[in-house]
Structure 1
């Protein structure tokens, strides 16, 4: 049953899926497509909600496109605007729970001219194609791992990495879904463990080959 929330989807600022506060840079490349949203501070939780999925349904008959619902992925942060009232432009001001949809996503459930509409919403499981994507950037002294295309609960709370010469090492959250470590990882095949906020975990063994390079992306074992 959908939870009724008299909150708003803002369609005035249409971010076309590049960059963003979750660190995905290109959400299509990372497996999220165009059905994405920036979340207000109350929902974004300083990046902890990145990758989570929500089912959204328009709740304003005048502007809704039928009774269809939409599954979106949280990929960005909608910053507050204290210069504007929360009911008149400051849609992402705390404590409002708000979704700022991409234009293609908004048009699936509501008319463009509406701009904002109240919605029903609920957290749902994420269904992904392919495996979890791991991308390593940085340098030999500092490694930054982007974790994306995560199925199941979608919301990653822990990442570990292991090489054939390096024991399991816990990465720290740098920001969004970028995780950091200064463990020496080059020249080794790498395995990863990923834990989501519902307590589930998955291990991807030797997902990176010995000769991996910075900037490369490899896929590991996903959640069901």
Structure 2
């Protein structure tokens, strides 16, 4: 299982997308599972995940990527492989959003770890998502938000189905070929981390953060069921 071989000509380079070595490291956790990727972009990761997942779904908010993703999935099927479903939607509004594993790499301001985890946990508590669902998150310690979040969520990567992996990566040369801003290519070489966090492990976690406090009381996520 090697995503660099399966997807030998990626469209995007790191750090525009997560590294292919990270995709490869996730495969053992995805085999035979229903997987949803939030924020799929051009689908370099999904094109590898769908080969081993029981079912793979790309959820993409940016409409200009949705057509490209459908074309890519169709091409995989025509070649005799597995394709993937495409939901062109905000993941918080997508219908029937249920899977064994939800994966993403945060991209502020539109996709943040705390917001995704809070929303998905709300769906679990509302019985819209299975209670065993796992969040598969990716962290680049060279990016300050990832570094801070890894320290917060590492302790929740415990229990059945959980993991905490360290992944060496080197896409420096590929970055220079595919990424316009070469100054970003320093992030394409080094170490990444992945965490598999059972969503229910976060049930007592405080998701308070800037902009979500009012009079000392935590604002509830609209996805959470009424108490």
Q: TM-score, normalised by structure 2?
A: 0.28
The structure with the largest helix share of the pair is 2
The structure with the largest strand share of the pair is 1
Point out the structure with max Rg over C-alpha. 1
